Structure 1
Amino acid sequence: MSGLLEARAVRRPAAAPWVPAVLLVLTAIAYPLLDPGPARDAVSWAIVLLGSAVSVAHAAVSRGARAGAGVLLATAATAVVFESVGLATGFPYGQYSYSDDLGPTLLGVPFLVPLAWLMMAWPSWLLARRLTAGARPARQRPARVAVAAAVFAGWDVVLDPQMVQAGYWTWAHPQPSLPGIDTVPLTNLAGWLLAGAVLMTLLDLLAAGAVPRTGDGAPLLVLGWMTLGGALAHAAWLGLPGSAAWGVLLAVPVLAALAVQARRS
């Protein structure tokens, strides 16, 4: 009887990240179906809050409460530093500005922005950890950091045109840009790669040494849905075929690598 109770106690924490993950998917489905306005803005807030909850809950459940708190603080601090410097100087993303629709700010950075970083940073690191598992031990950390930064920046390639379309931020000089995306400059991609490298180094130092207690399904569901689900929404409802194509293109090598790993295991 005591063994059964212990098993249930273990399952409950393990299930904690799944609740906001499933709610996020259901909420994200509503976004492209709504007209621009307060209802769609509320959905955007809900998606980010749920996604950040998935990251913190999974980090805490899988690697301990200290790791969960560390992931939250490291991501929020890195986001505020990079975004506030970016707003003031244009480095490293290029010159941009936020609208008032995103609500309260800290150093000019809307509170929603660090939470959006948190929503995607932890899943990006988890995916990179999986993709680089076969690397030589001496090369695993730099490989994890590089791949995680690339995944993190790739997510923004899909998201940023949607947020510009929604009026949440605008770029002073959106050209030159990726083919098919004329509202976001290439400097933004370079900035995300730099910021991602810094953040993923911090997350790797925080979490790489801990033995996972649960699987990564919930955060990887969030990452997959926000990228591929976002690409579908861009193509079918939001009139953003360029970012939709880039989302699929960037996902192909990741899916291929995961398929090869699954076949070898």
Structure 2
Amino acid sequence: MLSRMSVRAVPGFRTAAIAAWALGATAVVAQIVYSMTAPADRTAMTVLAVVAFAAASVLDAAARCGPRAAVALVAVAGGGGLAAEAVGVHTGFPFGDYAYTGSLGPALVGVPVLVPLAWIMMAWPAALVGRVLGRGWLAVPVAGWALASWDVFLDPQMVDAGHWVWADPTPALPGVAGVPLTNFAGWLLVATLISAGLVAFTRSDGQLRRGPAPVLYLWTYGSSVWAHAAFFGRPAVSLVGGLLMGVVAVPFAVALWRAHR
């Protein structure tokens, strides 16, 4: 079964892993530059960070579990994310009534192409989190939470940047004004469905020792907590997101540390 295949049996895994690390580093640098750039000039860094991170996740999947895992990631997370966003932006289900402003570049079926890439970039690390922290079928809801909780940071940042708007942002999570609860409920639903399609391609044996995906997940968590507290003027989002995403990020960090002792 592919999901149990040794990484060393995957042709070209070393090249894919090295490229994944390089692209992951590019994403991190772009995010750092983003935080030091004037708000009006941040879109280019947003695009670079998402594209590089998404490519790193795809290559990480290929290096760990073979090309079928990479194809599954693009199809399930990219295709599923695009479908969910297209339905959402045209019907209001499952996220709520929202609209993109056109600031994120070219769109497909009303959804910026960058958006399904964002689903791809975090869905793979979240699937690894689910496999490490969850046993058996529990890996799916854990992975779903690992992915959906990230949006507690993402959505306020993107709303403040003017990339999309909500028709009615109430009721909202305490401390996360401007984003309705329906959005987070929709994210949890879609993230769990996507995770169900990806967890089958992951495995728990030694996966923390290879590739950048686990590090990128924890970087996203830590940098999001810091950025909302220090740069974006949203300390309440830093606290709430830190707690909700921290439910999985902190135990995952412990697992990563133990794997590398």
Number of matched pairs: 248
Look up the match of 1:187: 182
TM-score using structure 2 length: 0.88
**Pair 1:151–1:58, CA change in 2 (3 A):** same
Look up the match of 2:196: 201
Partner Cα distance (2:122, 2:250) in 1: 21
- Cα deviation code 1:51-97 (max 9, x no counterpart): 10111000111111222122112211101111111111111100000
TM-score using structure 1 length: 0.86
Look up the match of 2:221: 227
**Pair 1:241–1:106, CA change in 2 (3 A):** same
**Pair 1:217–1:61, CA change in 2 (3 A):** closer
Greater Cα offset, 209-218 or 40-49: 209-218
Within the alignment, does 1:242 sit opposite 2:236 as a pair? Answer: yes
Q: Paired residue for 1:120, among 122, 130, 145?
A: 122
Amino acid at match of 1:237: F
Look up the match of 1:36: 39
Structure having the higher Rg: 1
Deviation at 1:43, TM superposition (A): 0.2
Partner Cα distance (1:216, 1:186) in 2: 36
Identity %: 40
Partner Cα distance (2:253, 2:108) in 1: 42
| SS state at 2:209 partner | coil
Greater Cα offset, 152-161 or 243-252: 243-252
Deviation at 1:257, TM superposition (A): 2.8
Deviation at 1:103, TM superposition (A): 1.2
Deviation at 1:211, TM superposition (A): 7.3
Partner Cα distance (1:263, 1:211) in 2: 14
| SS state at 2:165 partner | strand
Greater Cα offset, 245-254 or 49-58: 245-254
Q: Paired residue for 1:215, among 173, 198, 209?
A: 209
Look up the match of 1:160: 155
Partner Cα distance (2:90, 2:70) in 1: 30
Contact 1:126 1:216 in 2 (8 A): no
Contact 2:150 2:245 in 1 (8 A): no
**Pair 1:107–1:162, CA change in 2 (3 A):** same
Contact 2:98 2:167 in 1 (8 A): yes
Contact 2:17 2:211 in 1 (8 A): no
Deviation at 1:216, TM superposition (A): 4.6
Contact 1:62 1:214 in 2 (8 A): no
Partner Cα distance (1:255, 1:181) in 2: 20
1:18-167 to 2 correspondences below 5 Å:
18-37=21-40, 39-132=41-134, 135=135, 140=136, 142-167=137-162
| SS state at 2:103 partner | helix
